[in-house]
Amino acid sequence: MQATGSARGKVILFGEHAVVYGVPALVAGLERGAQAFVELSAESEILWDRELLPTDDPLYRALSETRRILGAPPVRLRLELAIPSGAGLGASAALGVATARALTALVGAGNEPSLGGAVSAWESVFHGSPSGVDAAAAELGGVLRFVKGETPTPLRLPEPLEICVCLAGPPASTKEMVEQVRRHKESDNARFQRTLASIAKLVDEGIEALGKSDSKRLGALLTQNHELLTEWELSTPELERARSLALEAGAFGAKLTGSGGGGALIALGPPGPLLSTWKTHGFDCFCSSIGGSPNHD
Ligand code: PMV
């Protein structure tokens, strides 16, 4: 018996890190993501791009936690990822959702397990205690207003939006970056609360701009969010370089996305010039439509 599942990668448009403290975030599913193929097996095996992973790989723990929640038997799991991992593009959540979907399909329709619980079991192996924003985007796609602990609200865009992603430097550990932000809170809580309030305002303004397909305004808001994130020392020289190049290439705005400390930058602007400028300077990059059809298995 075999089954498959798929899920999307994501970019956080507004509100990363602040989301950990209860501020809403806006997150968008990418066109690309992860795929999982499962078949019954006497013992669990995991193949990554068709290569068998050693049994001490943390993915085995993630699989066994997910199987436990879903009541699924041992499987041979093959994973394929079409986004870079550890770059703040939600790779681990996409793998978790794809795997949970494949396992759910395998155990059959009579059994109705919660995908949410299974995915947070998977995610907890890699992230400690994530806000859940990545998992929501991987599962639902589209553009979501996400508040930690609440059901995400899908936003209907008048038309899909093209967003460009640049990989700017080695990825950082989300856990360490979340810790770093916490230290900023501890050292000056009043200032920290003001920054949270400013980000919350940007999220509201972002929703308004998205509703009008106002790319210029959205770009300016992205830039403002980036500037607030730099207060928490989340940017790096490489992210700043990718950002300057994006603005030179005609972007309306650009910001780091995800945990920061390396990883990815998003920019809103003309895809052709953005991609060619980044590529000329040696950056890996791609553009994706967001806010189109929502995700489905
Ligand atoms: O996995 P990343 O790099 O996209 O980071 C997740 C977003 C954070 O807000 C930084 C952490 C979280 O749990 O929400």
Q: Is the pLDDT of residue 109 over 80?
A: no
pLDDT band per the 50, 70, 90 thresholds, residue 296: very low
Q: Is the pLDDT of residue 295 over 70?
A: no
Task: Say how many Å lie between the CA of residue 12 and the centre of ligand 1.
Answer: 8
Which of 259, 265, 266 has most ligand 1 atoms within 8 Å of its beta carbon, as the pocket-test mutant?
A: 259
Which of 124, 133, 203 has most ligand 1 atoms within 8 Å of its beta carbon, as the pocket-test mutant?
A: 133
| Residue 297 confidence (pLDDT) | 39
Q: Is the pLDDT of residue 113 over 60?
A: no
- Show contacts of 218-222: CB within 8 Å, 24+ apart: 218/161, 218/252, 218/253, 218/268, 219/251, 219/252, 219/253, 219/254, 219/267, 219/268, 219/269, 220/252, 220/253, 221/14, 221/253, 222/13, 222/14, 222/252, 222/253, 222/254, 222/255, 222/266, 222/267, 222/268
Distance (Å, rounded) from C-alpha 168 to C-alpha 278?
Answer: 10
pLDDT band per the 50, 70, 90 thresholds, residue 49: confident
120 compared with 63, residue with greater pLDDT:
63
Distance (Å, rounded) from C-alpha 101 to C-alpha 130?
Answer: 20
| Residue 36 confidence (pLDDT) | 97
| Residue 53 confidence (pLDDT) | 97
Give the containing element (helix H, strand E) for 272: helix 271-280
Q: Is the pLDDT of residue 19 over 70?
A: yes
Ligand 1 pocket, 134 CB below 6 A? Answer: yes
Q: What percent of the chain has pLDDT over 70?
A: 96
Q: Is the pLDDT of residue 110 over 60?
A: no
> 163 in helix, strand or coil?
strand
| Residue 114 confidence (pLDDT) | 64
Q: What is the mean pLDDT of residues 239-252?
A: 98
Task: Say how many Å lie between the CA of residue 63 and the centre of ligand 1.
Answer: 21
Task: Say how many Å lie between the CA of residue 131 and the centre of ligand 1.
Answer: 7
> 38 in helix, strand or coil?
strand
Q: Comparing C-alpha atoms, which of 94, 68, 67 is closest to residue 79?
A: 94
| Residue 130 confidence (pLDDT) | 82
Task: Say how many Å lie between the CA of residue 6 and the centre of ligand 1.
Answer: 21
Q: What is the mean pLDDT of the chain?
A: 93
pLDDT tens for 189-200 read 999 999 999 999
Task: Say how many Å lie between the CA of residue 11 and the centre of ligand 1.
Answer: 10
Distance (Å, rounded) from C-alpha 255 to C-alpha 271?
Answer: 16
Ligand 1 pocket, 96 CB below 6 A? Answer: no
Q: What is the mean pLDDT of residues 138-151?
A: 94
Q: What is the mean pLDDT of residues 29-38?
A: 95
Q: Is the pLDDT of residue 210 over 90?
A: yes
pLDDT band per the 50, 70, 90 thresholds, residue 212: very high
pTM of the predicted model over 0.85: yes
Q: Which atom of ligand 1 is nearest to the CA of 25?
A: 9
| Residue 140 confidence (pLDDT) | 92
Task: Say how many Å lie between the CA of residue 173 and the centre of ligand 1.
Answer: 10
pLDDT tens for 85-104 read 888 899 999 999 999 999 99
